[in-house]
Structure 1
């Protein structure tokens, strides 16, 4: 029988559902170099600015798909629109005045791994279709749209409001790693050294987890989801796959063979056996977890029959795995690695 994570299914993110329903599936990676310098520490106030005494040198320059973005002076009013961009700023001690809540967390618009980091709740901004008038009213001096669609019209509209940090080259359709996201945002905020430290500390957690679980190395894994639209699986170069690869897993080659420009592939019920691997991990999106675990076709997968499967029914675990920010990945390592270890036995 498939294993489930430890809590009952709760509300899944409406923002994620809209994204998946429109694109028909699922998340990231690429390769970018961002440049800039900073000192070691940061502070912040509720306006969204880092302490000028601890911020880096300006002007700061960051290379993006749309060209080099120059941030002339320390940002005081940051609006974070990309998926996980706000959490990345918060990890650096900077509190955005506005942000998009991709997974409909409510409250401050961030997951439990980032709660308590705002002194004042930010203005909420739409996700796939940002509310440009609301953004302009916030009078930002920097807009973060790093993990985003990479749409030219979206970028052009935002950049007329304020300097906008868009996706890196090759980062379209949310294909950007948490490392890239952290490097780009920390450089633009004048906190590059802090960004490097956050990346290093998080990478150490991955290294420790992989070392503690040598049984993961070389095992194939399928990372998938089911929505009311149908079944899907994540391809190489996306958030979740990058996450498990750092633990030693190999993504399902049958899934990667179907990869196109999107971050996932749809899987018909007739071809559901394509999901089979040494470990199958599924996330319900907009449906109950039981709709996956009780499905006869899913239960017929050899991995599921052997007990080598997980269906996320804890929304915090599923959403931390989906967000893949520098804050959420640490939380996800703590929560999902024990589930993986139990399921591959």
Structure 2
């Protein structure tokens, strides 16, 4: 990804290249308990409406409990499902196929939603669903996109002060919970996930203060992530610290291209990497990868399982739970005395 990309092009490229494989994930790992905390379907809290949700585009008034929700932002559909609401339309950012959600959210739909394109959603397809609420809390966050969507139905976009695609899972839960009249459920789920992070950190004191480099490999080469990306935020919630030399390269995007001459940036006390659209062997057999001290010392982890990579990348509460259960042991193993 060249440095000369425009801001919008760079953000779109980052969004695409940081999505794990667009191949549909298998359901073998769908039995995780992550989805078990999702509340059962039912109405919102009594007297919750009307509600006012504050966003980067101003206050959004929602007069009555939404009945037809279209969830367009990255993980908006999973977040609504986790609160017991089934969108009639949704975008499939990570290319799961089917219902457009990860295995950790399988079984939460009674009827599959209409799948809507991600970067350039069809306004006609959205309008045809007759929505009374549109969720777009994690997307490119442009005024143009918001104006187009809000002309169809009340639209809840990103919170104020958040760059494109960088709404945290906590902010997303709060916004979606408010919009759906389910703030209590959102607060409960947030507490469960944050406790799971705290428990994992307490079980692994070796994570505390350990510098980590989080990278990916595509057909264009290596890249690394900075704070504001869900994967780095995940690691820092466990006690790790993102490598400062990578952090110093941060721009408006959450993805930093790493040239062949810069691959040493990925060397850290713990290096975590995963493939995007390529075979994992293209990382592990790469001569540049093998030059890293962390690789030579056994302190590098390559996430090869598509389901786990997608959970790590999802930025949703349910996906985070799945990743905590399945990725933390992989991060811990290289750091054992």
* TM-score past 0.5 threshold: yes
Listed as ranges, the matches of 1:1-345 within 5 Å are 21=13, 26=18, 43-44=40-41, 50-51=42-43, 54-345=45-336
Kindly indicate whether the alpha-carbon contact (under 8 Å) linking 1:56 and 1:191 is maintained by their aligned counterparts in 2: no
> Shift of the alpha carbon at 1:24?
7.9
Distance 1:24 1:89 in 2: 23
Kindly indicate whether the alpha-carbon contact (under 8 Å) linking 1:219 and 1:279 is maintained by their aligned counterparts in 2: yes
Distance 1:115 1:182 in 2: 19
C-alpha spacing 1:326/1:131, structure 2 compared with 1 (3 Å): same
Distance 1:232 1:25 in 2: 9
Kindly indicate whether the alpha-carbon contact (under 8 Å) linking 1:182 and 1:195 is maintained by their aligned counterparts in 2: yes
Distance 1:107 1:240 in 2: 25
Kindly indicate whether the alpha-carbon contact (under 8 Å) linking 2:14 and 2:253 is maintained by their aligned counterparts in 1: no
- Other structure's SS at 1:196 match: helix
Q: What is the count of residue pairs matched by the alignment?
A: 309
What value does the CA root-mean-square deviation take over the aligned residues? 1.8
> Shift of the alpha carbon at 1:21?
3.9
Structure 2 alignment gaps of length 5 or more: 1-9, 20-37
- Other structure's SS at 2:148 match: helix
C-alpha spacing 1:246/1:56, structure 2 compared with 1 (3 Å): farther
Distance 1:136 1:220 in 2: 47
More displaced stretch, 54-63 vs 170-179? 54-63
Q: TM-score scaled by structure 1? A: 0.86
> Shift of the alpha carbon at 1:320?
0.2
Distance 1:293 1:88 in 2: 34
After superposition, what is the alpha-carbon deviation per residue over 1:208-237, rounded to whole angstroms, capped at 9, x for unaligned?
A: 000000011111101111111221111012
> Shift of the alpha carbon at 1:19?
7.5
1:37 aligns to what? none
1:13 aligns to what? none
If asked which structure has higher relative contact order (CA below 8 Å, sep 6+), I would say 1
C-alpha spacing 1:279/1:55, structure 2 compared with 1 (3 Å): farther
After superposition, what is the alpha-carbon deviation per residue over 1:24-50, rounded to whole angstroms, capped at 9, x for unaligned?
A: 8549xxxxxxxxxxxxx9653xxxxx4
Q: TM-score scaled by structure 2? A: 0.88
- Other structure's SS at 2:199 match: helix
Structure 1 alignment gaps of length 5 or more: 1-17, 28-40, 45-49
